[in-house]
Amino acid sequence: MKSVCAGARVALTLAATILIPAVAVADLTIAVTPRFAADVLLERITPLRDYLSSILGERIEIVLPKDFADYEKRVKSGGIDIAFSNPTLYPLTSGVHEAVAMLDQKKGGDRLRGLVVTRADSDIVSIEDLVGRKVVIVGKTSTGGYLSQKVSLVEAGIDPEKDLKLEEARDNKQENALLSVYYGDADAAFIREDALHIADQFIPPSQLRVIRRTAWMPNWAISVKRSLPQDVKDKIRAAVTGLKPGAPELEAMKAKALAPATDADWDVARQALGLPIPTR
């Protein structure tokens, strides 16, 4: 009888082993700055995840941070192995991550810049005329909606924090910055260059005037955790920079290419953010 019971226990143990599948654990994680809704982010990053997984022979999990602060926290804590960061968040997280490539967009290439926009009938004709005026910006960490303009203003001897009356656009939207100028709520707007016509359905283009195209800034970064094995980092760098124009991974990211890049390419963004330049 005991042998029968023992046999039954063995059988049950074997059955449990067979019926309960092992839970797959990701070898690496990848995340993208949460600029868009989750479904859009997945659509843009999944092909790259699948491509890198096949190259590395590793299972890569996509992480979807809830907002910019959560994304920054996860990257800084080491919870993200491969990151696709905007030009502001990469410098803020580069103590833990290192850039391997820069986004080269179909429009604008691997750089972006901002505009200073006024009403067409404004008496403001140069950035020097902005002193003492109300200027609406996209946000203090917006690359094209503030930092690019800040670099140009500082080069002209103007401190935007002290010399301009700054106000952030409602919901930090480019179009709301333009609307503020059009309706006379602000004297000028700082926006990203490719957002100039974002509100054309509400604003006749002839009613706005660009008085300055400001400093070029680096684009988005593909970065890897510094503590990853060097051979893994090298494989990721070679894989992403080796993608040819038209590759499905690039098409999903709205990109022409992922150009080779180094950490120093984001130094101008660090300066605009008031961050120290790393010793190299």
**Cα-based angle 114, 167, 271 (whole degrees, multiple of 5):** 50
**Whether the model pTM is above 0.75:** yes
Query: What pLDDT is recorded for position 14?
Result: 38
Is residue 83 within 8 A of residue 52, CB to CB? The reply is no
Of the candidates 232, 267, 220, the residue with the CA atom closest to the CA atom of residue 108 = 220
Query: What pLDDT is recorded for position 26?
Result: 66
Query: What pLDDT is recorded for position 19?
Result: 43
Whether residue 21 is predicted with pLDDT greater than 60 in this model: the reply is no
Q: What is the DSSP letter of 114?
A: E
Buried b (16+ CB within 10 A) or exposed e, 6-44: eeeeeeeeeeeeeeeeeeeeeebbbbbbbeeeeeebeeb
Helices and strands (H, E) in the chain, number of each type: 10, 13
What end-to-end distance do the CA atoms of the chain give, in Å?
A: 75
Query: What pLDDT is recorded for position 109?
Result: 76
CA pair distance 103, 253, nearest whole angstrom: 9
Segment 53-83, tens digit of pLDDT: 999 999 999 999 999 999 999 999 999 999 9
Query: What pLDDT is recorded for position 4?
Result: 44
The contacts of residue 26 (CB under 8 Å, 6+ apart) are 59, 60, 61
Query: What pLDDT is recorded for position 25?
Result: 53
Query: What pLDDT is recorded for position 95?
Result: 96
* 98 pLDDT tier (thresholds 50, 70, 90): very high
Look up residue 123 and give its two tokens. Answer: 């008496």
| R_g of the chain, CA atoms, integer Å | 24
Look up residue 279 and give its two tokens. Answer: 């010793």
The contacts of residue 3 (CB under 8 Å, 6+ apart) are none
At residue 234, the 3 state secondary structure works out as helix
Domains of the chain: 28-109+218-273 (3.40.190.10), 114-215 (3.40.190.10)
The contacts of residue 138 (CB under 8 Å, 6+ apart) are 144, 145, 146, 168, 169, 172, 173, 174, 177, 190, 191, 192
Tell me phi and psi for residue 2, to 5 degrees.
-60, -40
Query: What pLDDT is recorded for position 100?
Result: 98
Buried b (16+ CB within 10 A) or exposed e, 77-114: eeebbbbbbbbbbbbbbbebbbbbbbbbbeebebbbbb
* 280 pLDDT tier (thresholds 50, 70, 90): confident
Beta strand segments in 155-270, E = 165-168, 188-192, 208-213, 217-218, 221-225, 255-260
